[in-house]
Amino acid sequence: MPLYRDPRNHEPSYEDHVRAELNVWVRKLLQRPGLLERTSKVIQTKINERVIPEKVHTIITATVKGLVKSVVFGLEYIPNSPVYYGIGLQERDQKAQRLLSKYRKIAAAEGAGTGAGGFTLAVADFPALIVIKMRFLFELAHNYGFSTEDYRERLFLLYVFQLAFSSQEKRPELYKIILNWDKTIKSWPEEKEGIKQVNWEQFQREYRDAIDFRKTLQLIPGLGAIVGAWANYGLVDDLGMVGINCYRLRILGGVQVDKSHSARY
């Protein structure tokens, strides 16, 4: 997509501004994990194995499996909102920010309510939060002009979801799939077979590891409501920024980060 510059003042276009933001975002996304990240991962793994009740892990795993089936093959998440065609990227980004603000508030309110209800409701918050996230992503797709009636777009949302909550080691692989989505999906089989192309075991594990630390604090007596609102708000915000930038990449056709670390594969 060619960029427009006003020949009278040579000021950069909005697309130039977005490319600069994407440049920074992609470099941060793909950077190798530092000492802090590696140490946090070790601690998090120990927490997962020794602190978090098996019941919680079981619920998350079952919920994610159900999510995969319902998102790809079902119609329950397809929003009533129209697919926006024929509008500029700047207007799409503005709509996306308003949408993200709405869902952050929904998630925070849900987390505060379940967090104040003790262990049982706190555990129930895991599947509820996933539903909130997926409804946000489906509306986001329509905002950027991609119809979720197409199962390939629903698969794309699952990869966006996974990228948002994956480890630093897995991000380059997922990013490459997302960046080359239009080419990748053409080589995939039809709908019923396409689902087999996704590593769902990794999907479940990465998501669980990414949210466990924040969400486990929600189970601490007396802190549930505060932590629940904080955790849910932050998790939806993380997903929102990744989702918005993934659609920006699709619309702009990628970005060139630098000679040593190209983001255009």
Q: Which residue has the tokens 């978090």?
A: 52
Handedness of CA 30, 234, 202, 73 (dihedral sign): negative
- In whole angstroms, give the CA distance from residue 181 to residue 192: 18
Tokens of 54: 């098996």
Give, rounded to a whole angstrom, the gap between the first and last alpha carbons of the chain: 17
pLDDT above 60 (res 119): no
- In whole angstroms, give the CA distance from residue 109 to residue 97: 18
pLDDT above 70 (res 74): yes
Cβ–Cβ under 8 Å, residues 110 and 128: yes
Neighbour count for residue 35 (Cβ, 10 Å): 7
**Mean pLDDT calculated for residue range 67-84:** 82
User: Is the pLDDT higher at 104 or at 75?
Assistant: 104
Tokens of 21: 């933001």
Which of 207, 222, 235 is closest to 60 using CA atoms?
A: 207
**Mean pLDDT calculated for residue range 231-239:** 87
Which of 10, 224, 235, 9 is closest to 120 using CA atoms?
A: 224
Tokens of 121: 């409701």
Tokens of 245: 């930038």
User: What pLDDT is recorded for position 209?
Assistant: 67
- In whole angstroms, give the CA distance from residue 233 to residue 226: 11
**Mean pLDDT calculated for residue range 4-15:** 63
Least confident of 5-9, 58-62, 131-135: 5-9
Where does the pLDDT of residue 11 fall: very low under 50, low under 70, confident under 90, or very high at 90 and above?
A: low
Q: What is the pLDDT of residues 156-166, one digit of tens each?
A: 998 899 899 88
User: Is the pLDDT higher at 249 or at 220?
Assistant: 249
pLDDT above 80 (res 128): no
Cβ–Cβ under 8 Å, residues 240 and 246: no
**Mean pLDDT calculated for residue range 13-26:** 94
Chain-wide mean pLDDT for the chain?
A: 77
What's the predicted TM-score (pTM) here?
Answer: 0.80
**Mean pLDDT calculated for residue range 206-219:** 61
Highest mean pLDDT among 30-44, 135-149, 202-216: 135-149
Tokens of 219: 């189970």
User: What pLDDT is recorded for position 103?
Assistant: 95
pLDDT above 90 (res 138): yes
* Cα–Cα distances in angstroms (integers) from residue 205 to residues 137, 220, 253, in the given order: 20, 23, 30
Cβ–Cβ under 8 Å, residues 95 and 84: yes
pLDDT above 80 (res 67): no
Q: Which residue has the tokens 């040579």?
A: 10
User: What pLDDT is recorded for position 199?
Assistant: 66
- DSSP track, 73-84: H--TT--SSPP-
Which of 160, 172, 196, 186 is closest to 257 using CA atoms?
A: 172
User: Is the pLDDT higher at 20 or at 69?
Assistant: 20
Q: What is the pLDDT of residues 180-208, one digit of tens each?
A: 998 878 776 665 555 566 666 667 667 76
**Mean pLDDT calculated for residue range 71-88:** 87
Where does the pLDDT of residue 127 fall: very low under 50, low under 70, confident under 90, or very high at 90 and above?
A: confident
Tokens of 29: 């996304």
Q: Could you give the dihedral angle defined by the CA atoms of residues 250, 156, 154 and 241, in that order, rounded to the nearest 10 degrees?
A: -70
Q: Who's near 142: CB < 8 A, 6+ residues apart? A: 79, 81, 82, 83, 84, 148
pLDDT above 90 (res 13): yes
